[in-house]
Structure 1
Amino acid sequence: MSEIAPSGARPQRADARENVRQILRAARAVFAERGFEVSIEEVARRSGLGMGTIYRHFPNKHALVEEVAIGHMRETSEVLARAVDEEPDAWSAFTRVMRHMAEVRSSQMFPVSRRRTTESGPALVAARDALLADLEDLMDRAQREGALRTDVNTYDLVLMMASLPSRIPGDEAAGDLTVDLTGRQLSVLLDGLRAPGAERLPTPAATRPDLDEFFRTRFGV
């Protein structure tokens, strides 16, 4: 993650920036392993820093959750930009971005903080807006190439991706590998997104208010 300070924060000393890096690394690891319902005390333990240091940079758990979510959104925008530059066509770039988003979802790295009713912070809204604009542009390219069906929009896509399952832990004692159903379901999803599409989709399509309400009520951001 490229961020080294909470979004919108004032410039920090080198030691403070390193503390923020440690906190965010620990938060990402803990949330990936155990979900966003884990306590902030566990984040502090994993980071090796005290609770006072955590709260000095993040006044509450939701602020930390939002910062992790912002980091993932910005990373996805970076992945998208590289995919557009490096892949031979828009569909290849599109599927590369979808696989990245599925990996984020599968590892539980998703902005989950249930039962939140207040508005998302401006930095998170800005990161989401930028990512949605990038996705819309990529989808438009793929649709103009004739590879992506034209009756789906960006909001449909994000809602579909949010429905993918998290990774299912295997039996560690028996040495089983982690069971990951996301790859299979993503393949079915991508096949359904291919143009021209065998089924006519019901109307109307999802809208931005639909997406915002979904994230606010289900994921808290």
Structure 2
Amino acid sequence: MSPSTPPADRPLRADARQNVEQILQVAQDVFADLGYQASIAEVARRSGLGMGTIYRHFPNKTALVERIAIKVMQESLDQVRGALAEEPATWPAFTRVMRHMVHLRSSQLFPVSRGRAKEAGAELAEIRTQLLGALEDLVTRTQRAGALRDDVNAFDIVMMLNSIPPRLPETGDGSPTTDLADRYIGVLLDGLRAPGSEPLSQPAPGRREIDQFFRTVHGL
């Protein structure tokens, strides 16, 4: 059984399906806010569900994290494809995807398990490959239109998205959570727009470097 799938193969009852959807949404918010050091207990607290209910659907934290990553990467893949099909110019398509991925916290939603003994499940590996391919297509088209500087690639974009921090954690006094994503993505997009005034001194990363990054930093 893949760690990314719930333990039962039979169709879920309506109430169980609702629980799974609630767990995934709350866990996505928890991990976006606090990173993957956040505990399952925090997911249970925010969702109002018991620990037993969560573990009934996701036998361990790795299973829950992988399922969220699959969900987020699929949403990001759909966004790339939709932007390329719907936007009349490539720069609006590019900025639409970048803002979407930042607000989904795609930069934070890659499985984290430093002591991981097994490779990521096949479903996760496949959707990640598809997403990287779609991002490469988006970058290439935007560069051909002369809108994106030509000395960056899709792997640069992934690394840059990982540099944008999560939302600042709640203070506990009822104050609204500070979210600086819009501010930082604005700076990032300005630096990516062609022609670019600052020469880049290092070669762009490739798939090998990206795989090494996620393997060593995120355990993926």
2:27 and 2:43 in contact (8 A); partners too: yes
Secondary structure of the 1:21 match is helix
Q: Which runs of 5+ in 2 are unaligned?
A: none
Give 3-state SS (helix, strand or coil) of 1:215's partner: helix
Q: 1:130 Cα shift? A: 0.9
Q: Secondary structure at the match of 2:147?
A: coil
8 Å CA contact retained: 1:40, 1:61? yes
Alpha-carbon distance in 2 for matches of 1:150, 1:164: 22
In structure 1, what is the equivalent of residue 197 of structure 2? 198
Give the Cα separation in 1 of the matches to 2:203 and 2:108: 30
Q: Hey, what does 1:31 align to over in structure 2?
A: 31
Moved more, 49-58 or 179-188: 49-58
Question: 1:104 is matched with which residue?
Answer: 104
The change in CA–CA distance for 1:9 and 1:85 in structure 2 (over 3 A counts) is: farther
Deviation by residue 1:18-64 (Cα, 9 ceiling, x = unmatched): 34223213322332343322222333444454444433332210110
C-alpha separation in 2, matches of 1:13 and 1:168: 35
Alpha-carbon distance between aligned partners in 2 of 1:117 and 1:162, rounded to the nearest angstrom: 21
Q: TM-score, normalised by structure 1?
A: 0.83
Letter of the 1:156 counterpart: D
**Structure 1 regions of 5+ residues with no counterpart?**
none
Query: Can you list the C-alpha shifts for 1:121-171, whole angstroms capped at 9, x where unaligned?
Result: 211111111111111111111011010111111111100110112222476
Q: Is the 8 A contact 1:114 1:217 kept in 2?
A: no
Structure 1 counterpart of 2:207, one-letter code: R
Q: What is the rounded CA distance, in whole Å, between the counterparts of 2:173 and 2:18 in structure 1?
A: 36
2:183 is equivalent to residue 184 of structure 1: yes
Structure 1 pair 18/218, CA: closer, same or farther in 2 (3 Å)?
same
Give the aligned partner of residue 144 of structure 1. Answer: 144
Deviating above 6 A after TM superposition, structure 1's stretches of 4 or more consecutive aligned residues are: none
Cα offset, 1:219, TM superposition: 2.0
* Matches for 1:1-221 after TM superposition, within 5 Å: 6=5, 10-15=9-14, 16-105=16-105, 110-111=109-110, 113-118=112-117, 119-169=119-169, 173=173, 175=175, 177-221=176-220
Aligned partners of 1:144 and 1:95: how far apart in 2? 16
SS at match of 1:125: helix
Give the residue type in structure 2 aligned to 1:41: A
The one-letter code matched in structure 1 to 2:211 is D
The offset of 1:9, in angstroms, is 7.1
Q: Given that residues 8 and 123 in structure 1 are in contact (C-alpha distance below 8 angstroms), is that contact kept between their aligned partners in structure 2?
A: no
CA 1:43–1:173 in 2, change beyond 3 Å: closer, same or farther? closer
Paired residues in the alignment total 215
Taking the aligned partners of 2:9 and 2:113, their CA distance within structure 1 comes to: 29
Contact residue 116 and residue 217 of structure 1 kept, 8 A: no
- Cα distance, 1:212–1:171 mapped onto 2, change above 3 Å: same
Paired amino acid for 2:192 = L
Paired AA for residue 189 in structure 1: L
Change (3 A) 1:62 1:197: same
Structure-2 change in CA distance of 1:41 and 1:173 (3 Å)? closer
Q: Is the 8 A contact 2:32 2:167 kept in 1?
A: no
Partner secondary structure for residue 201 of structure 1: coil
- 1:78-105 Cα distance to aligned partner (Å, 9 max, x none): 1222222322211101001101112123
Over aligned residues, Cα RMSD in angstroms?
A: 2.7
